[in-house]
Amino acid sequence: MDRKIYLYPKWVRIWHLSFVVMFVILAVTGISMHYTGRKEHAIAIDFAQAVKWHGITAILFIISYLSFVIGNILTANGKYYKPEAESLRSGLRAQVKYYISGMFKKEKTPFPVNPQRKFNPLQKITYILVMYLALPLLIISGLGLFFPGITGNKFHGASGLIPADIIHISAGFILTLFMVVHIYSCTLGPKPFSLFREMITGYHEEDEGEGTIK
């Protein structure tokens, strides 16, 4: 018999949906600005419109990110992002082994979801790096491009915009890749859309394959 665990409060679900929508807009408009003038790229839109919507969405994106950080500080959701020694040693090895072979052999996951543990060790490390390293780099470098004065006129003899641009594009690429992998991993639940449904209802449905809650 399946057991439901309430893991995603309403504010997390609303934030998650809005954040994804804004990230897609930023990715499309950012690519459009990169390929401006090259009409053969179907994804490209008018440069002026791309700049406009990239800027507007970026402001909302920063506000959304700050609300996530503040929400994690003020609510219990923050406990899921605290690194533990377990995640840095045997936990990572066990989870990688499960993803490589155990999952396909229908073995029980080594780290079943419960009210105290929403992420397995590999997920936790990944989300910490994404939310507290890659996203801040994306935002800070973006601000550096939006306000050229704060980057300085020169950086080792070159324009200060160059390193900001490299960091911004690199962080954007990594985060886009993460989103693709994240969407794919969400299809690996008991049913193809069960993990997507969790972000709508807020409830994780424990499957028999997860084993006893620890």
The parent domain of residue 199 ranges over 3-210
pTM of the model: 0.84
CA distance 151 to 214: 49
Q: What is the pLDDT of residue 32?
A: 86
The two structure tokens encoding residue 167 = 């960091």
- Number of helices and strands in the chain (H, E): 8, 4
Contact indicator for 80, 65 with CB cutoff of 8 Å: no
Q: What is the pLDDT of residue 34?
A: 78
Classify 199 in phi/psi space as left (phi over 0), alpha (psi -120 to 50) or beta. Answer: alpha
Classify 152 in phi/psi space as left (phi over 0), alpha (psi -120 to 50) or beta. Answer: left
Place of tokens 């641009």: 165
Show pLDDT as tens, one digit a residue, over the chain (214 residues): 457 889 999 999 999 999 999 999 999 999 888 776 555 555 567 888 888 999 999 999 999 999 999 999 999 999 999 887 766 777 888 999 998 999 888 888 898 888 888 999 999 999 999 999 999 999 999 998 888 776 655 555 556 678 888 999 999 999 999 999 999 988 877 777 888 899 999 998 876 555 433 3
β-pair partners for 159: 154
- The number of folded domains in the chain is 1
Q: What is the pLDDT of residue 212?
A: 39
CA distance 88 to 81: 14
Q: What is the pLDDT of residue 162?
A: 83
Return the CATH number at 141.
1.20.950.20
**Residues 6 or more apart in contact with residue 13 via CB below 8 angstroms:** 199, 200, 202
